[in-house]
Amino acid sequence: MLHLTALIPLTVVPPAASRTEKNIPDFISEALGSVPTLPYLSPELQGDRLLVGANFASAGIGILNDTGIQFVNTETSDSTFSLTFQPHFDTFSWQINIIRMYKQLKYFEQYQARLTDLVGYDEATRIVNDALVLITVGGNDFVNNYYLIPFSPRSRQFSLPDYVRYLISEYKKLLMRLYDLGARKVLVTGTGPMGCVPAELAMRSPSGECAAELQRAAALYNPQLVDMINELNSQYGANIFIAANTQQQTTDFINDPAAYGFTTSKVACCGQGPYNGLGLCTAISNVCPNRDLYAFWDAFHPSEKANGIIVNMILSGSTNYMKPMNLSSLLALDTKTKT
């Protein structure tokens, strides 16, 4: 599986609660009978490990290149991806080298060249055409850009509806580039209910209600993402892209956590401040005794149990959740086409 995303958890975990949770790519790899993909920049990604796929993911980035500008991004080396965490008494300062989407796509090209050296051009092309590509990007363009600060540059440039349309148009270019690079089975996940994550509750909603403006953004963005994917499928004459309505699935267990075995969908398992929603998960954070009872692991990211629920939806969900079909149907259709 090839994985380009912006939503890999950025978490420094307390030693007493080392993070072993599976994320969405892990669950999908497991369901497909594949081993999890290594990061593209890992020195272990050599030889036959290239045949499994690669993970090009980076925390903090978005569709737009100016998303994540608050991070200290040196990007001085193509061979390192590092996180430096420096805890102080009541503040956090940290540095990451983020890998923006244009660079991830460059790495995807490099990956194909390395694959060609290993197995030859025809076989490398077949592997890439047959691969499942997961791409998750867009949420940061709101929380780490448009709504990052009051009167942010993008919010002064665009009204929210115009910004959403701009994001969709830029995202379309990324997906078309993926197609040009040989991707033929692409799973695109939408944003979750951004106003309901513990970080936004802590910063914007003392009463515990989901932040209305971020919810409005998600409600505008996700349907337009589906429309854009349908347009691309029509343009290419095949179901290349499928869209996962992670907003609806996450909203289901936020609205009725008990139905999914959670005791809370507001408080993160690991964090500090209201709803454990402030800062990173660190060695001085509050940590819950049983993470399976929490819908959120940290201020932004679902817990392992929640990720499993989301992946079940991706694999077998109805058209209320998956457009134009779920992942199992897409893979079955591909199998029939080859027989």
Please report, for the domain that includes residue 162, its CATH number: 3.40.50
> Which residue from 157, 326, 159 is spatially nearest to 245, judged by alpha carbons?
326
Please state the rounded mean pLDDT for residues 40-65. Answer: 91
Question: Above 70 in pLDDT, residue 47?
Answer: yes
- Residue at 231 is within a domain: yes
Can you give the pLDDT at residue 254? 93
- Residue at 272 is within a domain: yes
Can you give the pLDDT at residue 98? 82
> Which residue from 78, 193, 83, 184 is spatially nearest to 139, judged by alpha carbons?
193
Name the residue with higher pLDDT: 69 or 288: 288
- Residue at 339 is within a domain: no
Can you give the pLDDT at residue 95? 52
Number of domains present in the structure of the chain:
1
pLDDT bin (cut points 50, 70, 90) of residue 10 is very low
Question: Above 50 in pLDDT, residue 213?
Answer: yes
Residues 142, 144: Cα–Cα separation, whole Å: 6
Residues 45, 271: Cα–Cα separation, whole Å: 33
Hey, what's the torsion of the CAs at 177, 3, 11, 41, to 10 degrees? Answer: -90
Residues 174, 273: Cα–Cα separation, whole Å: 37
Question: Above 90 in pLDDT, residue 74?
Answer: no
pTM of the model: 0.87
pLDDT bin (cut points 50, 70, 90) of residue 220 is very high
Give kind and range of the element (H or E) at residue 92. Answer: strand 92-96
Can you give the pLDDT at residue 264? 97
What does the mean pLDDT of the chain come to? Answer: 86
- Residue at 315 is within a domain: yes
- Residue at 132 is within a domain: yes
Can you give the pLDDT at residue 206? 81
CA distances from 109 to 37, 187, 314 (A): 17, 19, 27
Residues 70, 60: Cα–Cα separation, whole Å: 9
Domain containing residue 187: 2-334
> Which residue from 10, 24, 19, 1 is spatially nearest to 250, judged by alpha carbons?
24
Question: Above 70 in pLDDT, residue 246?
Answer: yes
Question: Above 50 in pLDDT, residue 11?
Answer: no
pLDDT bin (cut points 50, 70, 90) of residue 145 is very high
- Residue at 210 is within a domain: yes
Can you give the pLDDT at residue 2? 58
The predicted-structure confidence for 91-117, as pLDDT tens digits, reads as follows 344 455 788 999 999 999 999 999 999
